[in-house]
């Protein structure tokens, strides 16, 4: 389950003392009403709490308001955090109706082999996608590879690239084919492909293969 959401920040002095500074609002798509990208993803929801992912820095003990599709906003406390993931516990359990309405906002689950993979996806984006698909934090990946969390961050943000055995370790950790992570493409079969293409083009135009030139723009 994944539900797009965003935080509405209270303007300084706009809320009464003790009230939540942020309201978490669910939405049907991946954008806010003003067109900006959603800044929060709800990965799990129950009557007692939420598991959210957000680049917004939250503190353990902080109380947020959650605007559910059914009923008035409810308060939830941040009870744990790990690498942009936060566990939120509702002050009071929500109703089954409110939970069902929230779950209807989720995107359909995809089979692992149907996970979206855009053409031209960068290595960092691919690495982060595989990490999240395997429900791992940067800290957990760093521990498995015996590197720092900062190293994983730099890989995912394109500041550096893993080399040699690190690629193999990542492929094993994510149970993914090595070529899915490696930046290098297997071009060993290109000469045969080009030769066959020349022959087919030559035959179609009634000429010889040595007179066919193929130009590839990269």
Question: What's the pLDDT score for residue 105?
Answer: 66
Query: With contact defined as beta carbons under 8 Å apart, do 67 and 26 qualify?
Result: yes
The answer as to CATH 2.40.10 being correct for domain 3-103 is yes
Query: With contact defined as beta carbons under 8 Å apart, do 5 and 24 qualify?
Result: yes
CATH number of 116-181: 1.10.260.40
Pairing of strands 22-26, 63-67: parallel
Neighbouring CB atoms inside 10 A of 95's CB total 14
Question: What's the pLDDT score for residue 35?
Answer: 41
Question: What's the pLDDT score for residue 78?
Answer: 92
Question: What's the pLDDT score for residue 79?
Answer: 92
Question: What's the pLDDT score for residue 122?
Answer: 80
Residue 79: phi, psi to the nearest 5?
-110, -20
- Candidates 94, 5, 106, 98; CA nearest to 52 is 5
- Candidates 216, 215, 3, 217; CA nearest to 102 is 3
Question: What's the pLDDT score for residue 77?
Answer: 93
Per-residue pLDDT of the chain (218 residues; tens, 9 = 90+): 556 676 766 655 545 556 677 777 775 433 333 444 446 878 778 889 888 888 788 889 999 988 877 667 889 999 988 877 888 999 999 888 888 877 776 654 443 333 444 445 788 888 888 888 888 998 899 999 998 888 888 888 887 888 778 888 998 898 888 767 765 455 556 777 888 888 888 888 888 888 888 876 54
All structural domains of the chain with their residue ranges: 3-103, 116-181, 188-218
Question: What's the pLDDT score for residue 76?
Answer: 92
DSSP state at residue 13? T
């Amino acid at each position: 389950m994944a539900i797009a959401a965003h935080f509405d920040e209270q303007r300084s002095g706009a809320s009464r003392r003790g009230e939540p500074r942020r309201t978490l609002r669910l939405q049907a798509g991946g954008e806010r009403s003003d067109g900006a990208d959603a800044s929060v993803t709800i990965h799990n929801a129950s009557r007692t709490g939420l598991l959210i992912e957000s680049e917004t820095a939250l503190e353990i003990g902080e109380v947020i308001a959650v605007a559910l599709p059914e009923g008035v906003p409810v308060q939830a406390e941040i009870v744990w955090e790990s690498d942009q993931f936060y566990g939120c516990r509702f002050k009071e359990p929500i109703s089954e109706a409110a939970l069902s309405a929230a779950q209807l906002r989720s995107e359909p689950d995809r089979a692992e082999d149907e996970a979206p993979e855009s053409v031209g996806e960068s290595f960092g984006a691919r690495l982060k996608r595989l990490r999240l698909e395997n429900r791992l934090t940067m800290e957990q990946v760093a521990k498995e590879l015996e590197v720092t969390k900062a190293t994983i961050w730099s890989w995912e943000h394109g500041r550096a690239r893993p080399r040699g055995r690190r690629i193999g370790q990542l492929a094993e950790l994510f149970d993914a084919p090595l070529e899915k992570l490696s930046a290098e493409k297997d071009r060993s079969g290109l000469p045969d492909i080009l030769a066959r293409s020349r022959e087919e083009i030559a035959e179609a135009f009634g000429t010889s293969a040595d007179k066919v030139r193929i130009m590839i723009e990269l």
